[in-house]
Structure 1
Amino acid sequence: MNRAVVVGVDGSPPSLVAAEHAAQAAVWRSRPLHLVHGYLHPLGYGVPINPYDVGLPAPSEDGRKMLEQAAAELVDRWPGLSVEVRQVAGGPGATLVEESRRAELVVVGSRGLGGFAGLLLGSVGTQVAAHGHCPVLVVRPPDRPIPTEGPVLVGVDGSESAELAVGYGADEASRRGAELVLVHIADERDAGADAPATDLLATAAAAARGSHPELTVTERLITAPKPDQALIEASGSAALVVAGSRGRGGFTGLLLGSVSQALVHHARCPVLVAHPYGHAA
C-alpha cells in the first residue's frame, strides 16, 4: 500500500505553509501528496436537524480552485511530485483523523482559517495531533519556511512512546542528512540520577545507530525543573523535534502527554508527534 502524505488545506496562510512542508516530506519519502479540504454544510451550525440527513453537500467551486492552485504551485516547486486534491464533506479535524488511518504522514498548520492570535494551536491541529492514526507533523511557527539547518531533536524518557519517537527521529535525520540529538531531562531535585539517565540515552543512541549506522548521534543530559520548558528551549536550535504521543507513566486515556502538548503548542520548530501506524481500513 503506497500511503500518501496528507495535508489539510483551507486557503489560510498557515495551511499553505503546511502544504509546503508536506510536499517536502512527500519528496523525502518518495510518496504521493494529497491535499484535503474538509468542508461543513453551510447550515451545519444552529440547525435543530442534521443537515446531512437530506444529502451530502456538494463541493464548492471556490474550494476546488483553491486546492488546484495550491497543487499547481507545489508541483512547480517540486517537479515530479504526484499531487491529488480532494474535498471531503465533514469537519476538517475529523476528516484528517480519518485520513490518517491510510496515510504515511498527516501535516497540519499551527492555526486554521479564522484562528485567533492567542490560540497557539487551532482546534483542528489539536484534534489531529491527539487522535492521529499515523505520525502527525505540526508545522510551527505557522509562518516559518521549511528549516534547512539544524538537528533532529528527540526527548528520551524510557517510555515505549519515546522509543517509537527515537525510531522516527532516526528516520527523519537520515532523510535530511542531519544530526540526531537525543535529550533526556533530569529533575534537578533527583540527586544521583545521572547514571540511569546516561544508560537511557546510551540505549536509545545504540538503537538509532543500529538502524542507521551512517547517522551522527549526540546524547545530551539536561538538568532542569520542568522537562517541557527545557525541551521547548532546546527546540530553538533544531530543524525538527520528535515527541512521543504519551510520556512515561502516561494514562491510557490521555491521548497526548503533557510534554508533547507543550511542544505542539510552544516549540520553536516543527513537531512530529510519533503516533504508531494504525490498521488501514
Structure 2
Amino acid sequence: MIGGGMPARDIPEGPLVVGTDGSEDSLDAVRWAADLAARRNRALRIVHAYTIVIGYATELPPTQEVRDSIEAEAKQFVAAAEQEAKLTAPGVRVETALIDNDAVPALVRESASACMVVLGASGRGGFLGRLIGSTAVAVTSHAECPVAVIRRREDGTTAPLDGPVVVGVDGSPVSEEAIAVAFREAALRGVPLVAVNAWLDVEYDSTFTQRVYVEDGPQEQEQQRMLAERLAGWQEHYPDVEVERVTVLDRPRHQLLERSQTASLVVVGSRGRGGFRGLLLGSTSQALIYHAQCPVLVVRNT
C-alpha cells in the first residue's frame, strides 16, 4: 500500500492508441506516442476514423469513385503515420486500423482496451484559429483511459525532453490517480517530478479572498501536510525520481500553465475537488488542454 494508503496502480493492459488525420499535429502525436510505446514496451495502434456522408444537396449515396478516393486518402494517412512511428522508434510494434465511423465514438471505443489514447492538439477538421480540435475535447471527456493531448510551445517548438513532469495535486480521488501516473512517467523519462498544490480554490479571486486565505495560517499548513502525505508512499516506490513540492496560494490553472512552459509533460485529473458533479472535464483540465505549452495527460478516476 502506497500513496496515502492507496494500492500501487498497474499500468493498464492494451496498446497505446494514437489518432491520425494526416495533419501535422496528428503526426506530432504519432511521434510522441511511438516514443512512449517503445519506453513502455507496448504496441502502438494507429487509428484513422472516417465517414462517407451524403451531401446536403442530395439524398443520393456517394459514388463508388468517391468512396474509393476517400478510402485511398485514409490509407495514405495511416501509411504516413506508420512510417513516422517507425522512424521515431524503430523497434516499436505497430498495428493500424481504418474505422468507418465518426472519430469521437471510434476513439472512445478504442479507449476501452487501450492503456492511453494520444491525440494532436488540433486536426484537419478544425476551423482556422481554433486552439484545439473538437475531437480532442470530446475524446478527453469520454475516454475510459488516460488521454494525452500533444501541444507545442507558443513559438512552435516542442517541449524539452529533459523538462520535469508536473502534476496537479488537490487531494481528490482523481488526483491520486494523477500522482500515480505522473511518478510513472517521470521514472520512464528519467526527469524530476514537480507536485503542485495550488490552494486558492475559487474561480474569481479578489484582494479580500486572498487576505482571508493568507490570514488562515492553519489552512496553509494543512495543505502542506496533505501534499507530503499524498507523495510519501510514491517517493518510496520511485526512489530515483527527484521530487519538488510546491504549495502556493494561487489558482491551479495559473500555476500549472506557468510551469508548462518548462515541463516535458503536465499530468492532471479530469475533474478535481472543486468541480461540479456531472461535469466530465473540470476548468483546470480544460484550460491546460487549450493553453498549455507542453503535452497534457488527463487522467480519470478508475
Partner Cα separation in structure 1 for residue 37 and residue 158 of structure 2: 16
Q: Is the 8 A contact 1:21 1:146 kept in 2?
A: no
Q: Verify: 1:139 aligned to 2:139, yes or no.
A: no
Q: CA deviation at 1:7?
A: 0.6
Q: Does structure 1 retain, via aligned residues, the 8 Å contact 2:120–2:149?
A: yes
Find the aligned partners of 1:108 and 1:63 in 2 and give their Cα distance: 17
In the TM superposition, 1:224-235 aligns within 5 A as 224=250, 226-235=251-260
Structure 1 residue 271 corresponds to structure 2 residue 296: yes
2:27 alignment partner in structure 1 = 16
Question: Does 1:185 find its partner at 2:210?
Answer: no
Cα pair 1:135 1:276 within 8 Å, conserved? no
Query: Conserved in 1, the CA contact under 8 Å of 2:46 and 2:82?
Result: yes
State which of 86, 106, 119 in structure 2 corresponds to 1:75: 86
Which residue is equivalent to 1:95? Answer: 106
- 2:121 pairs with 104, 110, 123, which one? 110
Gaps of 5+ in 1: 52-56
C-alpha RMSD of the superposition: 2.3
**1:141 counterpart SS class:** coil
Query: Distance between the aligned counterparts of 2:116 and 2:146, measured in 1?
Result: 5
- The residue type paired with residue 298 of structure 2 is V
Cα drift, residue 144 of structure 1? 4.0
**Structure 1 residue 197, shift from structure 2 partner:** 0.9
Which of these residues, 188, 202, 223, is aligned with residue 197 of structure 1? 223
Contact 1:156 1:200 in 2 (8 A): no
SS at match of 1:102: coil
Matched to 1:237, the amino acid is T
Which consecutive unaligned segments of at least 5 residues does structure 2 have?
A: 1-11, 62-66, 201-209
Residues 200 and 42 (structure 1), Cα distance of their counterparts in 2 relative to 1, 3 Å cut: same
* CA distance in 2 between partners of 1:109 and 1:254 (Å): 23
Superposed CA offset, 1:221-269 (max 9, x none):
1222x32122211211211000101110433311111111111111111
Corresponding position: 1:218 with 2:264: no
Residues 134, 276 of structure 1: 8 Å contact kept: no
Q: Distance in 1 between matches of 2:25 and 2:135?
A: 12
Per-residue CA distance 1:32-75 (angstroms, 9 max, x = gap): 111100001132x6489897xxxxx7770121122112212321
Q: 1:106 and 1:50 mapped to 2: Cα distance?
A: 36
Deviation at 1:152, TM superposition (A): 0.4
Work out whether 1:6 is the aligned partner of 2:17. Answer: yes
**Which residue is 1:206 aligned to?**
232
Which residue does the alignment assign to 1:54? none
When residues 64 and 237 of structure 1 are mapped into structure 2, their CA distance, relative to the original with a 3 A threshold, is same
Q: How many residues align?
A: 271
Deviation at 1:183, TM superposition (A): 0.5
SS of residue paired to 1:103? coil
**CA, structure 1 residues 216+89, in 2 after alignment: closer, same or farther (shift >3 Å)?**
same
* Percent of paired sites with the same residue: 39
Q: 1:159 aligns with which of 169, 172, 180?
A: 172
Deviation, 1:29, is 1.0
Q: TM-score, normalised by structure 2?
A: 0.83
SS in 1 for 2:112: helix
The equivalent position to 1:255 in structure 2, one of 267, 280, 284, is 280
Match of residue 140 from structure 2 = 129
Name the CA distance, whole Å, in 2 between partners of 1:214 and 1:22.
Answer: 24
- The 3 A distance-change label for structure 1 pair 174 and 276 is same
Deviation at 1:182, TM superposition (A): 0.5
Query: Which one of the candidate residues 40, 57, 80 is aligned to 2:51?
Result: 40
Q: How far, CA to CA, are the matches of 1:106 and 1:157 in structure 2?
A: 24
